Amino acid sequence: MENKLKLGFGLMRLPKKGLGFDVPQICQMVDAFLEAGGTYFDTAFVYPGSEDVTRKALVERHPRESYTLATKLYAAMVPTAKLAKQELTTSLKRTGAGYFDYYLLHTLQKNNVHKYDKFELWDFVREQKEKGVIKNWGFSFHDGPELLDELLTKNPDADFVQLQINYADWENPSVTSRANYEVARKHGKPIVVMEPVKGGLLANPVPEAKKLFDMASASASYASWAIRYVASLEGILAVLSGMSNIQQMNDNLSYMKNFQPLSEQEREVIRNVQKVMGRDGSIACTSCHYCTKGCPKQIPIPEIFAARNRQLIYNQYDEGKALYQEAVSGQGKASDCIGCQQCEKACPQHLPITKLLADCKAME
């Protein structure tokens, strides 16, 4: 199916109501997305509750041919090949979709790619494609261009690749957005973009960046600059946006329904913002929460980093400390970290989490 809208609906950061999802609002968001011409929906086995709510808000309410659905197999924390392969069966049951238009081996990087090789998951997705359970297969990637080139060379039949690309990480040495993009283009692979707004950080950038954007266009949202930046690149299949409410959906659709690539003047604004972001000393956490799975001290790492960023970005030290106290209430504190570094192995952003938590002790 042709993706009429370059925007993809990321089903990771969905609106909550109490302890569960706000299903009526999610249904409203799904309907608005489809009405605007959107087709690409993205979930994952490891997104808590996401595949189930995808069934309720999308699959049970709309014809199967009216959308495309992507989900993912995450083997990094799984002990056996059988359990890894079982994820596909579980995802099919949860979503009720019958098949997946796009299926990904999830979050590949140097410290886990051996698992995907050992469990023979590359051949597994090929077999599932032959059976028609998967229409297209690829992988999401969080490492450098050398490994990406190696994987695409070994697996030339991959249908697409999912990369973290945004203007803040374009030349970031720990993310290498530009270099990875160029490798994917060299191999002729369509690209699905994840983290175009860097976990929401670029929807609320540092004050100096906001001034530059506001001078250029007082009416454009900060998120629109980030999403249009990546959507303007060649070879993009979909730009995933993890929208958390109907207002964010409406904002995204306002400029993506009749998408216009960035002008040269707008590109210059982005280049100036990139210089500002290069001097930014905040913690580049995208709140994916992969670090918290298996933390022996149950430390809410993303929430702690968000509190610290309130101090680092806006000099709001009292507010940051209050957010910290709220985050650790009933959970582990930064000072409880035992330095096991399991969080660092799981972090797609390759953050020195143990060191950063030590810095966050000052908020206690």
Q: What is the pLDDT of residues 327-338, one digit of tens each?
A: 899 899 999 999
Low-confidence stretches of the chain (pLDDT beneath 50): none
**What was the pLDDT predicted at 294?**
83
CB-based contact 6:256 (threshold 8 Å)? yes
User: pLDDT tens digits for 167-200?
Assistant: 999 998 889 999 999 999 999 999 999 999 998 9
We report the CATH number of the domain holding residue 61 as 3.20.20.100
As a whole number of angstroms, the distance between CA 81 and CA 88 comes to: 12
As a whole number of angstroms, the distance between CA 330 and CA 337 comes to: 15
In terms of residue numbers, what domain contains 270?
7-278
| Boundary (domain end) residue, out of 212, 246, 278 | 278
Residue 283 located in a structural domain: no
**What was the pLDDT predicted at 139?**
98
| Residues 257 and 322 grouped into a single domain | no
Burial (CB count <10 Å: 0-12, 13-18, 19+), residue 48: exposed
Q: Which run of H or E residues covers position 89?
A: helix 81-95
As a whole number of angstroms, the distance between CA 10 and CA 241 comes to: 5
| Residues 173 and 294 grouped into a single domain | no
**What was the pLDDT predicted at 3?**
60
Residue 229 located in a structural domain: yes
Residue 2 located in a structural domain: no
**What was the pLDDT predicted at 226?**
98
Residue 219 phi, psi (nearest 5): -95, -20
Q: For residue 28, give the nearest of 9, 42, 1 by alpha carbon.
A: 9
**What was the pLDDT predicted at 277?**
85
Please give the tally of structural domains in the chain. Answer: 2
| Residues 167 and 228 grouped into a single domain | yes
